[in-house]
Structures are given as structure tokens and as C-alpha cells.
Structure 1
Amino acid sequence: MKLSDKVSVVTGAGSGIGQAIAVRFAQEGAHVVIADANLEAAEQTYALIKDTSPQSKAYQVDVAQEKQIERLISWTKSQFGRIDILVNNAGIGVAAPVAETTVEDWDRVMAVNARGVFLGCKFVVPIMEEQGKGVIVNIASVAGEVGVYNRAVYCASKGAVIALTKSVAIDYAEKGIRAVAVSPGTVESPWIGKILSNNPDPESARKAMEARQPIGRMGTPEEIANAVCFLASDEASFVTGSNMIVDGGLMAR
């Protein structure tokens, strides 16, 4: 198995892409700390993997809070003795152009999407340095590479994730630490579901989202998890500082 006995932390693992990553990691033999702001959701993910990965744990954390992330990382180290993989997946979004984005929404999205990734990297790197190896996978978005209509702060936050990933990769390559980003296109997820449900014509909105991808459909969380699993594994040992785009051809147009 690709991740046999690897100790991994996955944030935002209570649903969507994060949950799919946790499930895939468990299938590949990893021990997974399922970190999420919603403990009940984290426990539901644990219920999906407990038979294949009984040593996995559910853990409640707000990734925007420095002390909480520091405790998550130190607790994982104390429980398992090491941390092989960190997946910074937790994220939120706001649908608004820049003039209609409130300062409060800007601060909230940047706190989770950018500050949260920064804090995860900040506290896991010393452990990985001590080990002489480790992998950090940051979940970004195609919105960090191109402008997306009505997503001002989300685009800004994901652009920050991509840039930070490259910086971490350069700073710690000699320490045996790899840092990579994954940028999904439009994926079936709770946030997309919320956007569609709030649209006056959900079915037309869904068809428009599907039409943006040349492949003709939205991606699935499992397809993103497949990419993350590869990057986290030793099969990707020569991959660092890059941003893997998994978008059904969206950016090839």
C-alpha cells in the first residue's frame, strides 16, 4: 500500500474533499488524524475508516487559531511519535465580487484558507525537519491561478496558498521536506451544493458549472483524493514546489 503506516493529518476532513482524502489514505494503510471544526463530522469520517485504520483519530480544531493548530500538531506527535504527511485542506468561500466583499468576510476567508495553511506548515515543519522527511500537501484551487467570477476573496486566498507552497518547498527541500499544492476545478462538495441551492434556478446553474469543464461534468472528491494520495506517497518523491491542477480541462480552454 502506498501509505503503509504513514502518520497523516488531514484538516477539513469531516466532509467533501477532506473526507475523501482521509478515506483514501486509510485504504492505502495510513493512520489518519481527522481534523475538523465540527467534531461530529470528524467522527462520522472516522466511522468510515475505523475498520481499515483503527488507530486513526477524530480531532476538533479551528485552523485559523494558532494555539489550536499548535496543539493539534503536538498532540499528533505525542500520539504517534511522528508526522509523515500534513494535508491542509480546510477551507471556506464567499460568493461576491470585490466591491461587495465585506472586510469581515475577507478576514474570515483569509484566516481559514491562507492563515490556516500557514499555521499548519509553521508547526509541522520543525517535526519533519527533525525526522529528516515529510510531505505537506496544500489544497488550493484553479481560482488561485485564474480569475473566477464572483469569487474575489476566495481567489486571493487560494493564490496565497499556491505561493506559500512554493516558498515552503524551496526553503525546506534540503531538509527532506516536500511541499506541493493541488488545485481542483469545480468539484461536487458541500460548498458547491450550497451555491446551487441558493440559486433561483439550481438545475441551470448546475449545467453551467458542468459545461465549464471540457470533460462535461464536475469532479468528485474521490478524484481529488487520488491526486493527493499520489503526491503524498513515495511515488512522487521527485515532486515538490509544484501545483497539480485537477480540473477536467477547465484551464486548458
Structure 2
Amino acid sequence: MDDFAGAVAVVTGGASGIGAAVVSALRERGARVAVLDLDPSDVTADDQTLPVRCDVADDESVRAAVAQVVDNWGGIDVVVNNAGIGAQGTVADNEDAEWARVLDVNVVGMARVTRAALPHLRASSRAAVVNTGSIAATAGLPQRALYSASKGAVHALTRAMAADHVREGIRVNAVSPGTADTPWIGRLLEKADDPQAERDALNARQPHGRLVSAEEVAGAVVYLASPASGSTTGVALAVDGGMQALRLRPVEQ
């Protein structure tokens, strides 16, 4: 498919996990993709791929990265705000500095990147922004107070941005993954007393019985960014195996 032929996309946190899957999916559909990441050294540059070092917590770094993309490819049509960091614990378990750090990356980072790209999105005939949210925004999960707060803010920010920019021809949506099989989850499992038991519990928590794959999330991101979803804006598309919406009876033993 070539529905992104000629388009320029920016993907933050694009060097691994969900971000890398999004980069691959956009490339397959014809987009030129700038991979913005703290460490893009493993990303190979070619005619369709531009690795750019970027810290979304630093406005100067963000503006320089966006300028580099525009200097190379002349504009920006799609922004995928995927960069983010995790956090564990109850509301009592993180100090103010950690709250500020996580919110700065997970929420303000999206604002920084979109703000820097906005003049170029306004000039595009296919402008779209997709933010990576989470099931943690809409379902109360234990030991995720700070992370949940940050992703709840992402969902609210998505709706507000959609309202602000819809009449400029810029669609803004979010994807809301369930627990995804990413490097961050892998590191959490490694720290568990019984990693396999913990993985089994995470699998069982989602009605379809397994973790969400990065490729499944990428498929939703690509749909929301594509012209095929031209009348879709201000939504958070769940990719969670039914975790948010379904209420199944317990499996009989």
C-alpha cells in the first residue's frame, strides 16, 4: 500500500518498541520517516529514514530536530508522539522530582514536539498527529499512579488539541494500548520474583489472553494518521484486547 507516498512523518521514541514498529509500518506504506530518539544510533539512514537525536524534555533539542527534518525533506505531514517513560508505585511512592520528570517527558514532551511542528502541519494537506496514550488513562491499575496520571493527561491533551486545530485541517488522535510486549515491560518482568507468573498474570488481565504486540499498536497508529481516517479526530483508539470495554465472566476451572 502507498497511502503515505510523498508524506513526511516524525516518530518520537522511534528507535525501539512501539515506535520502531510505527516507523516500519509507515515506511512500508511509502512515507519518509524521521526517527527522533535519545539514541538513534541503531537506526540506519536511507532515502526513507532519517535518524535524529532528540530529547523531548528539552525544547532546544526538539526545535533543532524538527528543523533538521524540514531542512532534509521540506516539510512535515504526520507527527507521532510516542516517546515516553514508565513509572511504578502508589501516589505516595514517588517524590516531586520524579512526578515532574515523568510528566515533563510524557505530557509536555508531546506539546513541545507538536508546537515545533505546527507551522509545517498547517502547510500540509494531510496533517495528522497521533499521541501514544494507554489503558492506564481509563482503567485503574495498581502501582501506576504517576504513569496513569501522565497518560490521562495525554488523552485530555489529545481532545483539546483536536478541538484547537480541526479547522486548520489538522487531525489529532491517540492510540490507547493495553499492556504491550515492549522492552519496558520486559525489564519489569525481569525484576519480578517469578517472571513467568507475572507474565501469565498480565496475559490473563486482557480478555483476549495475551499481551498486545507492538505491530498491532502500529497498525492503529497508521490508520489514525492516514487519509482513510479523514473524519476521525479527538478519539483514543483502544488496542487492548478488550481490557477497557469488555466484562467477561471468570473462566470456569
- TM-score (normalizing by structure 2): 0.94
TM-superposed deviation, 1:34: 0.7
Q: Determine whether 1:185 maps to 2:178.
A: yes
Verify the 8 A CA contact 1:101 1:152 in the aligned structure 2.
Answer: no
Q: Determine whether 1:103 maps to 2:104.
A: no
Alignment of 1:143-182 (within 5 A): 143-182=136-175
TM-superposed deviation, 1:132: 5.1
1:92 maps to 85
Greater CA drift, 93-102 or 11-20: 93-102
TM-superposed deviation, 1:133: 4.5
Alignment of 1:23-62 (within 5 A): 23-41=24-42, 43=43, 46=44, 50=46, 54-62=47-55
**Amino acid in the other structure paired with 2:151:** K
The separation in 1 between residues aligned to 2:209 and 2:153, in whole angstroms, is: 29
Verify the 8 A CA contact 2:27 2:48 in the aligned structure 1.
Answer: no
Q: Determine whether 1:250 maps to 2:239.
A: no
TM-superposed deviation, 1:145: 1.4
SS of residue matched to 1:92: coil
**Structure 2: any 5+ residue segments left out of the alignment?**
248-253
Verify the 8 A CA contact 1:180 1:241 in the aligned structure 2.
Answer: yes
Aligned sequence identity (%): 40
**Amino acid in the other structure paired with 1:119:** R
Q: Determine whether 1:15 maps to 2:8.
A: no
**Amino acid in the other structure paired with 2:78:** I
**CA deviation map 1:6-51 (0-9, x unaligned):** 100000011000000000100010000011101324x2xx37xx4x
**Amino acid in the other structure paired with 1:182:** V
Q: Root-mean-square deviation (CA), in Å?
A: 1.2
- TM-score (normalizing by structure 1): 0.94
**CA deviation map 1:193-214 (0-9, x unaligned):** 0110000010100000000111
SS of residue matched to 1:156: helix
**Structure 1: any 5+ residue segments left out of the alignment?**
none
TM-superposed deviation, 1:243: 0.6
2:66 maps to 73
> Whose helix proportion is higher, 1 or 2?
1
**CA deviation map 1:72-110 (0-9, x unaligned):** 112211211110100000011111111011222211111
SS of residue matched to 1:98: coil
TM-superposed deviation, 1:2: 2.0
